[in-house]
Chains A and B, each alone.
Chain A
Amino acid sequence: MPTKINLLPAEFVIKEDIKKTGAILRRVVIACAVFFVVTGLFGGVYMFLTQQQISKTKVEVEDLRNAVKNLEPTEQKIFLTRDRIAKGKVIYDKAGIEKSIDKVAKTVELFPVEISLEEARLSPQLSSLQFQSGDSLVASKLLDDLLTSGIFESLSIDSFDFSEMLGYKLRLEFN
Chain B
Amino acid sequence: MNLLPKYKIIFVPLASIATLIGVAVLFIGVFVNRLTAMKSELEQLQVVKKSLETKRSILKSSSSIDASSLSDEVTFAVPYKNPGIFLLSQINKKSKENNLVVENLSMSGQSEEMEGIFSSQVTFILSGELKDVNNFLNSIINSVPLSKIDQLQIKVDTQGLLSASVSMKIFWADLPTKLPSVERPITDLTPQEKEILEKLTQLDKPDLIELKPQEASPSTRLNPFSEL
User: A: which residues have CB within 8 A of B?
Assistant: 11-15, 18-19, 21-22, 25-26, 28-29, 32-33, 36, 39-40, 43, 46-47, 50-51, 53-54, 57-58, 60-61, 64-65, 67-69, 71-85, 87-92, 94-98, 100-102, 104-105, 108, 116-124
Contact = CB atoms under 8 A, between A and B. Distances in A.
Interface string B1-39: 000111001100110110011011001000100110011
Most chain A beta carbons < 10 A, residue from B9, B69, B75: B9
Nearest to B46: A57
A83 B176 contact: yes
A43 B74 contact: no
B79 to A, nearest CB: 9
B161 interface: no
A54 B42 contact: yes
A96 B193 CA distance: 21
A105 B154 CA distance: 12
B3 to A, nearest CB: 12
Contacts of B23: 36
Interface stretch (B51-59, B86-94, B101-109, B215-223): B51-59
A149 B100 CA distance: 30
6 contacts: A61-B48, A67-B56, A68-B56, A83-B176, A97-B150, A121-B152
A81 B152 contact: no
B214 interface: no
Interface stretch (B120-128, B130-138, B204-212): B130-138
A19 B74 CA distance: 93
A40 B27 contact: yes
A119 B117 contact: no
A144 B21 CA distance: 98
Interface size class of B (residues with CB under 8 A): 35 or more
Nearest to A50: B38
Nearest to A28: B17
Contacts of A82: 67, 189, 193
A87 B17 contact: no
Given A78-B64, A82-B193, A14 B70 contact: no
A96 B71 contact: no
Contacts, number: 219
A36 B196 contact: no
SS class of chain B's interface: helix, strand, loop or mixed?
helix
B67 A77 contact: yes
A114 B176 CA distance: 57
B114 A90 contact: yes
Contact of B186 (A15, A78, A97, A122): A78
Nearest to A120: B154
Contacts of A87: 78, 116-117, 171, 173
Contacts of A46: 35
B70 A81 contact: yes
A21 B151 contact: no
Top 5 A-B residue pairs of the complex, sorted by shortest distance between their CB atoms = A77-B68, A25-B13, A22-B9, A64-B52, A84-B74
Contacts of B70: 81
Contact of B197 (A15, A85, A105): A85
Interface string B144-158: 001011111111100
B162 to A, nearest CB: 8
A61 B171 CA distance: 42
B78 A84 contact: yes
Contacts of A65: 52, 182-183
Nearest to B45: A57
Contact of B75 (A11, A54, A80): A80
B49 interface: yes
A82 B176 CA distance: 10
